[in-house]
Amino acid sequence: MNELFSLEGDVAVVTGASGNLGPVWIQALLDYGASVLAIDRPESKDSNPFEDLPGGRDDERLAIVFADVRDKTALRAACGECIRRWGRPTVLVNNAGIDQPPKKRGKAWALEEIPLEANREILEVNTLGAFLVCQVFGSEMVKGKRGSIVNIGSLYASVSPDQRLYDHIPQDPPFLKPPAYGASKAALVNVTRYLATLWAPYGVRVNALSPGGVLGGQDDEFKRKFCSRVPMGRMATPEDLKGPLVFLASRASSYVTGIELRVDGGFTAW
């Protein structure tokens, strides 16, 4: 069984590497034997999210390069760096994404006032950026006739956010989860199906992994309301996400392509 899940000899690429979930995916891939090229945008250069990982940033199996997922030239350079170090990529975790959580919000908007630009940026990064990353790294997998791409979706690819989860937050007008977020993730799930069917003959599998709400600094009232909507009664922990990722990345899922694996404690089943 261990061999089925082994990533020994695999070359993995993880975008959005410096955020909350990037290091979780990276740790899982390293633990199962892969080398990992971590990518984040140039603005994140000063953060040091890998200090808790074994070997830190300079480990022989871990390197970080900086590229915006909307910049094809920079992505091509990152792909070149990957090939120089370890060879063609065989696993891609398309994880970079932006949202607009309440605490990061500078300004509150009523629905009819949400600027197009705010929606455009979310769609550009979460959908078009993820597509560009697939174009650059997935094409190398096609040439090598082997690969597994995991696009990170969200529970909001399938259902609308329940705005009541935020109604205790004192903001005028009230906080609204931006409509582009779920739209961008639903579109990414569909791009996943598109690429899965296109690249299946070339040995490249493409799936989506859609987490539910992951524990990480949310206020107590939000957590209480959110958990009451989850059949399993709790938010996801990083540990909950590692197994599904390794499953999709490895030979354990060798006949699985074009699916959305929801890791949401049953949220979207209710």
Ligand X SMILES: NC(=O)c1ccc[n+]([C@@H]2O[C@H](COP(=O)([O-])OP(=O)(O)OC[C@H]3O[C@@H](n4cnc5c(N)ncnc54)[C@H](O)[C@@H]3O)[C@@H](O)[C@H]2O)c1
For ligand X, the closer CB: 173 or 231: 231
Pairing of strands 35-40, 62-66: parallel
Check binding of 35 to ligand X (CB under 6 A).
no
Check binding of 138 to ligand X (CB under 6 A).
no
Binding mask 47-86 for ligand X (x = CB under 6 A): ---------------------xxx----------------
Angle formed by the axes of helices 116-123 and 179-199, nearest 10° = 30
For ligand X, the closer CB: 242 or 251: 242
Check binding of 154 to ligand X (CB under 6 A).
yes
Check binding of 38 to ligand X (CB under 6 A).
no
Min. distance of Cβ 178 from ligand X in angstroms? 12
Check binding of 218 to ligand X (CB under 6 A).
no
For ligand X, the closer CB: 20 or 268: 20
Nearest to 100 by CA among 126, 129, 63, 68: 126
Min. distance of Cβ 8 from ligand X in angstroms? 26
In terms of C-beta distances under 8 Å and separation of at least 24 residues, what long-range contacts does 251-256 make, across chains too?
A: 251/3, 251/4, 251/5, 251/6, 252/4, 252/5, 253/148, 253/205, 253/207, 254/205, 256/205, 256/207
Cβ within 8 Å of residue 66, ≥6 positions away: 39, 40, 41, 42, 44, 45, 74
Positions in the binding site for ligand X (CB under 6 A)? 15-16, 18-22, 40-41, 44, 68-70, 95-99, 125, 129, 152, 154, 211, 213-214
